[in-house]
A and B are shown apart, each in its own frame.
Chain A
Amino acid sequence: MKYYLLIPFLPLTAFLINILLGKEVLREKAHWPSILAVVGSWLVTIFSVLPQVTAGKIINEDLYSWIVSGTFNVSVGFLIDPLTAVMLIVVTTCASLIHIYAVGYMHGDTGYYRFFAYMSLFTFCMLMLVMGNNFLQLYFGWEGVGLCSYFLIGYYFNKKSAADAGKKAFIVNRFGDFGFGIGVFMVFLTFGTLHYAPVFSRVTEMVGQTVNFLGWNVDLPTLIALLLFCGAVGKSAQLPLHVWLPDAMEGPTPVSALIHAATMVTAGVFLVARCNPIFNLSQVAMNAVAIVGALTMFFAASIAITQNDIKRIIAYSTCSHLGYMFLACGVGAYSAGIFHLYTHAFFKALLFLAAGSVIHSVHTNDIQEMGGLKKYMPITYAVFVIAGLSAGGFPGLSGFFSKDEIIWSAYASASPVGKFVWVLALAGAFFTPLYTFRLIFVTFHGEHRGVRHAEHGGHSAHDTHYGEHHIHESPKVMTIPLMLLAAGAVAAGWVGIPPILGGGAHFAEFLRPVLGEPEFHASHAEEWGVMAMSTGIALFGLAVAAFLYLRKTDLPDRISKSFSAVYNILYHKYYVDELYHYTIVKPTLWVADNILVAITDAKMIEGIVNGLPGAIGRVSENLRRVQTGLAQHYGIFMAAGAFFIIALVLLLR
Chain B
Amino acid sequence: MVPLSWYMLLSIVIFTIGVFGFLSRRNIIIMFMSIELMLNAVNINLISLSHYLQDLRGQILAFFVIAVAAAEAAIGLAIVIALFRNKATAHVDEVKEMRG
A residues lining the B interface (CB < 8 Å)? 624-632, 635-636, 639
Query: Who on chain B is nearest to A642 by CB?
Result: B19
Rounded to whole angstroms, the CA-CA distance of A292 and B57 in the bound complex is 99
Rounded to whole angstroms, the CA-CA distance of A625 and B99 in the bound complex is 8
Q: How far is the CB of B75 from chain A (nearest CB, A)?
A: 16
Question: Which 10 residue pairs of A and B lie closest in terms of their CB atoms, listed nearest first?
Answer: A629-B96, A627-B100, A629-B99, A624-B100, A629-B98, A631-B92, A635-B23, A635-B22, A632-B23, A628-B99
Q: List 17 A-B contacts (CB under 8 A).
A: A624-B100, A625-B100, A626-B100, A627-B98, A627-B100, A628-B96, A629-B95, A629-B96, A629-B97, A629-B99, A630-B92, A631-B31, A632-B23, A632-B24, A632-B26, A636-B23, A639-B23
The residues of B that contact A627 with a CB separation of less than 8 Å are 98-100
Q: How far is the CB of A630 from chain B (nearest CB, A)?
A: 6
Taking a contact as CB atoms under 8 Å apart, the answer to whether A632 and B92 are in contact is yes
Rounded to whole angstroms, the CA-CA distance of A629 and B100 in the bound complex is 7
Query: Who on chain A is nearest to B28 by CB?
Result: A631
Docked complex: B16-35 residues within 8 A CB-CB of A: 19, 22-24, 26, 31
Rounded to whole angstroms, the CA-CA distance of A628 and B22 in the bound complex is 17
Rounded to whole angstroms, the CA-CA distance of A9 and B79 in the bound complex is 71
The residues of A that contact B31 with a CB separation of less than 8 Å are 631
Rounded to whole angstroms, the CA-CA distance of A630 and B92 in the bound complex is 7
The residues of B that contact A639 with a CB separation of less than 8 Å are 19, 23
Q: How far is the CB of B82 from chain A (nearest CB, A)?
A: 16
The residues of A that contact B26 with a CB separation of less than 8 Å are 632
Q: How far is the CB of B45 from chain A (nearest CB, A)?
A: 14
Query: Who on chain A is nearest to B98 by CB?
Result: A629
Using A625-B100, A632-B24 as known contacts, list a sample of 7 further A-B pairs with CB atoms less than 8 Å apart, ordered by residue number in A.
A627-B100, A628-B96, A629-B99, A631-B92, A631-B95, A635-B23, A639-B19
Query: Who on chain A is nearest to B19 by CB?
Result: A639
The residues of A that contact B19 with a CB separation of less than 8 Å are 639
A-B interface pairs (CB < 8 A), number: 31
The residues of A that contact B100 with a CB separation of less than 8 Å are 624-629
Q: How far is the CB of A198 from chain B (nearest CB, A)?
A: 70
Rounded to whole angstroms, the CA-CA distance of A639 and B24 in the bound complex is 13
The residues of A that contact B23 with a CB separation of less than 8 Å are 632, 635-636, 639
Q: How far is the CB of B60 from chain A (nearest CB, A)?
A: 24
Rounded to whole angstroms, the CA-CA distance of A625 and B100 in the bound complex is 6
Query: Who on chain B is nearest to A627 by CB?
Result: B100
* A interface SS class: helix
Rounded to whole angstroms, the CA-CA distance of A636 and B24 in the bound complex is 10
The residues of A that contact B93 with a CB separation of less than 8 Å are 630
Rounded to whole angstroms, the CA-CA distance of A629 and B99 in the bound complex is 4
Rounded to whole angstroms, the CA-CA distance of A624 and B98 in the bound complex is 11
Query: Which of A627, A628, A629 is packed against the most chain B CB atoms within 10 Å?
Result: A629
The residues of B that contact A628 with a CB separation of less than 8 Å are 96, 99-100
Q: How far is the CB of A335 from chain B (nearest CB, A)?
A: 82
Q: How far is the CB of A647 from chain B (nearest CB, A)?
A: 15
Q: How far is the CB of B10 from chain A (nearest CB, A)?
A: 20
Rounded to whole angstroms, the CA-CA distance of A443 and B91 in the bound complex is 97
Query: Who on chain B is nearest to A636 by CB?
Result: B23
The residues of B that contact A632 with a CB separation of less than 8 Å are 23-24, 26, 92
Docked complex: B55-100 residues within 8 A CB-CB of A: 92-93, 95-100
Residue-wise, chain B 23-57 has the 8 Å CB interface mask toward A (1 for contact) of: 11010000100000000000000000000000000
Rounded to whole angstroms, the CA-CA distance of A636 and B23 in the bound complex is 7
The residues of A that contact B92 with a CB separation of less than 8 Å are 630-632
Q: How far is the CB of B28 from chain A (nearest CB, A)?
A: 8
Q: How far is the CB of B84 from chain A (nearest CB, A)?
A: 15
Rounded to whole angstroms, the CA-CA distance of A257 and B26 in the bound complex is 88
Query: Who on chain A is nearest to B34 by CB?
Result: A635
The residues of B that contact A630 with a CB separation of less than 8 Å are 92-93, 96, 99
Rounded to whole angstroms, the CA-CA distance of A635 and B26 in the bound complex is 12
The residues of B that contact A629 with a CB separation of less than 8 Å are 95-100
Query: Who on chain A is nearest to B97 by CB?
Result: A629
Rounded to whole angstroms, the CA-CA distance of A537 and B59 in the bound complex is 121
Q: How far is the CB of B96 from chain A (nearest CB, A)?
A: 3
Q: How far is the CB of B86 from chain A (nearest CB, A)?
A: 16
Rounded to whole angstroms, the CA-CA distance of A627 and B98 in the bound complex is 7
Rounded to whole angstroms, the CA-CA distance of A183 and B44 in the bound complex is 88
Rounded to whole angstroms, the CA-CA distance of A635 and B96 in the bound complex is 14
Q: How far is the CB of B11 from chain A (nearest CB, A)?
A: 15
Rounded to whole angstroms, the CA-CA distance of A269 and B98 in the bound complex is 75
Q: How far is the CB of B32 from chain A (nearest CB, A)?
A: 11
The residues of A that contact B22 with a CB separation of less than 8 Å are 635
Q: How far is the CB of A126 from chain B (nearest CB, A)?
A: 64
Q: How far is the CB of B71 from chain A (nearest CB, A)?
A: 20
Query: Who on chain A is nearest to B20 by CB?
Result: A639
Rounded to whole angstroms, the CA-CA distance of A628 and B97 in the bound complex is 9
The residues of A that contact B97 with a CB separation of less than 8 Å are 629
Q: How far is the CB of B21 from chain A (nearest CB, A)?
A: 10
Q: How far is the CB of A644 from chain B (nearest CB, A)?
A: 15
The residues of B that contact A626 with a CB separation of less than 8 Å are 100
Rounded to whole angstroms, the CA-CA distance of A227 and B31 in the bound complex is 85
Q: How far is the CB of A344 from chain B (nearest CB, A)?
A: 76
Query: Who on chain B is nearest to A620 by CB?
Result: B100
Rounded to whole angstroms, the CA-CA distance of A630 and B28 in the bound complex is 12
Query: Which of A630, A631, A639 is packed against the most chain B CB atoms within 10 Å?
Result: A631
Rounded to whole angstroms, the CA-CA distance of A636 and B20 in the bound complex is 10
Rounded to whole angstroms, the CA-CA distance of A627 and B100 in the bound complex is 5
Q: How far is the CB of B16 from chain A (nearest CB, A)?
A: 11
Rounded to whole angstroms, the CA-CA distance of A636 and B22 in the bound complex is 9
Rounded to whole angstroms, the CA-CA distance of A624 and B99 in the bound complex is 8
The residues of A that contact B96 with a CB separation of less than 8 Å are 628-630
Rounded to whole angstroms, the CA-CA distance of A635 and B92 in the bound complex is 12
The residues of B that contact A625 with a CB separation of less than 8 Å are 100
Rounded to whole angstroms, the CA-CA distance of A632 and B97 in the bound complex is 14
The residues of B that contact A631 with a CB separation of less than 8 Å are 31, 92, 95
Rounded to whole angstroms, the CA-CA distance of A345 and B24 in the bound complex is 96
Rounded to whole angstroms, the CA-CA distance of A150 and B55 in the bound complex is 88
Query: Which of A624, A627, A632 is packed against the most chain B CB atoms within 10 Å?
Result: A632
The residues of B that contact A635 with a CB separation of less than 8 Å are 22-23
Q: How far is the CB of A638 from chain B (nearest CB, A)?
A: 9
Rounded to whole angstroms, the CA-CA distance of A504 and B63 in the bound complex is 113
Rounded to whole angstroms, the CA-CA distance of A22 and B98 in the bound complex is 56
Q: How far is the CB of A628 from chain B (nearest CB, A)?
A: 6
Rounded to whole angstroms, the CA-CA distance of A554 and B19 in the bound complex is 112
